Amino acid sequence: MPTMKAARIDRFGPIGHIALREIERPAPGPGEVLVRVHASGVGPWDAWIRTGQSTRVPAESLPVTLGSDLSGVVEAIGPGVVSVAVGDEVFGVTNPWFNGANAEFALAQASMIARKPARLGHVAAASMPVIAVTAWQVLAEYGGLEAGQRVLVLGAAGNVGAYAVQLARSLGATVVALTRPHESQRVRDLGAAEAIGPEDLEAESALADIVIDTVGEALQQRALAALRPGAILVSAVSPPDAALAAARHARAVFFIVEVTTERLTRIADMAERGELVPNVGIVLPLGEIHRAHEMLDGLRERPTGKIVLSG
Ligand SMILES: NC(=O)c1ccc[n+]([C@@H]2O[C@H](COP(=O)([O-])OP(=O)(O)OC[C@H]3O[C@@H](n4cnc5c(N)ncnc54)[C@H](OP(=O)(O)O)[C@@H]3O)[C@@H](O)[C@H]2O)c1
């Protein structure tokens, strides 16, 4: 029986509950693909799953392998899969429950992966799926962005924010980036026309057609209270006060990302053209996943950019 290494949890709890185990290599079922994982991502939602705070992985599902973002090569396909073939390089997300990727092999739903952009290596490709698709949905689908509009991105130097800046710019928007002072030049390099601090939030919210919120809490509330009529605030963080927005004749929505082949293919095409540049903060071997979770938990300094496991 072929086996593989996988970063597993048997029960919810602290980082020490993650164990690198040798387990049976799974076989793909209908609509599934077995991917030989070259790189996989680590994001805040992995810590929520580990600690039992995510509704995506209830206690009955344990034990599970952590991780959702991946890039690798198709090793085997299940019944009914026609979109990819054995040997294809793919990237994407494992499944709607966001688990299974931090391993040597992973099952992925064929509808949640796409061809990896040839321009990118596996580490860069694994850094993209959830956060880049979030930025796409926030702008194009929920925000309804049109060329010529003015977009204010809260948290523009972050993982989602940096993609939102690049995407909005390449879709023809004027981008204003709210960021920390030391990130001002980087967000300009990504395509922002202006970099501002929280002191300018109200003035810029009053000018924006779309406000993208990747920070939440007080900044979200302050932006809402300053929206101009007809504007929309889209939050990836938490449900905004829709009544407050309505009082200003504006709208406010929250959404949860849905990674699909179609959306990933758009992202891949833009990455191929150089319009979207990923930002990998640190690459760790799978065996050092504990260090990655220490960064998520704030126990260790977290670099700007995505945490990726490879090797
Ligand atoms: N709804 C969904 O489906 C979905 C999908 C993906 C992510 N998310 C959520 O989206 C949020 C952003 O995720 P992410 O991965 O992009 O996180 P991130 O990389 O930590 O980005 C957040 C950014 O906001 C900055 N920031 C925070 N407070 C600020 C302030 N007062 N002034 C200026 N900048 C400030 C942070 O800077 P510092 O690091 O210096 O604080 C960081 O650069 C998270 O809440 C995440 O859970 C939601």
pLDDT digits (tens, 9 = 90+) for 36-80: 999 999 999 999 999 999 998 999 999 999 999 999 999 999 999
Res. 125 pLDDT band, cuts 50 70 90: very high
Closest C-alpha residue for ligand 1 atom 15 = 159
* Torsion sign, CA atoms 293, 6, 311, 110: negative
Which ligand 1 atom sits nearest the alpha carbon of residue 216? Answer: 45
H or E segment and range at residue 34:
strand 32-42
Paired tokens of 224: 């809402």
Pocket test of ligand 1: the residue of 51, 56, 160 to mutate, having most ligand atoms within 8 Å of its CB, is 160
Neighbouring residues of 55: CB distance < 8 A, sequence distance ≥ 6: none
What pLDDT score was predicted for residue 60? 93
Pick the atom of ligand 1 nearest to 254's CA: 1
CATH (domain of 179): 3.40.50.720
- Mapped onto helix, strand or coil, the DSSP state of residue 154 is strand
Tokens of 215: 């920070």
Q: How many whole angstroms separate alpha carbon 98 and alpha carbon 114?
A: 16
Could you tell me the CATH number of the domain that includes residue 301?
Answer: 3.90.180.10
Which atom of ligand 1 is the closest one to the Cα of 255?
1
89 and 10 part of one domain: yes
Ligand 1 center to residue 22 CA distance, Å? 34
Let me know if residue 263 belongs to a domain: no
Ligand 1: atom nearest CA of 162 is 16
Percentages helix, strand, coil for the chain (3-state, rounded to 5) are 35, 25, 40
Question: How large is the greatest C-alpha to C-alpha distance in the chain, in angstroms?
Answer: 63
232 and 141, same structural domain? yes
Task: Please tell me whether residues 15 and 124 are part of one structural domain.
Answer: yes
pLDDT digits (tens, 9 = 90+) for 131-189: 999 999 999 999 999 999 999 999 999 999 999 999 999 999 999 999 999 999 999 99
Q: Which helix (H) or strand (E) holds 73?
A: strand 69-77
Is any atom of ligand 1 closer than 6 Å to the C-beta of 93? no
Residues 213 and 192: their CA atoms lie apart, in Å, by 16
- What's the whole-model pTM score? 0.97
CA 155 to centroid of ligand 1, rounded, Å: 6
Which residue range forms the structural domain that includes residue 60?
3-128+278-309
In a shared domain, residues 93 and 195: no
Considering the domain boundaries, does residue 268 fall inside one?
A: no
pLDDT digits (tens, 9 = 90+) for 254-273: 999 999 999 999 999 999 99
Do residues 248 and 141 both lie within one domain?
yes
The response to whether residue 281 sits with its C-beta less than 6 Å from ligand 1 reads: no
User: Which secondary-structure segment (H or E) carries 28?
Assistant: none
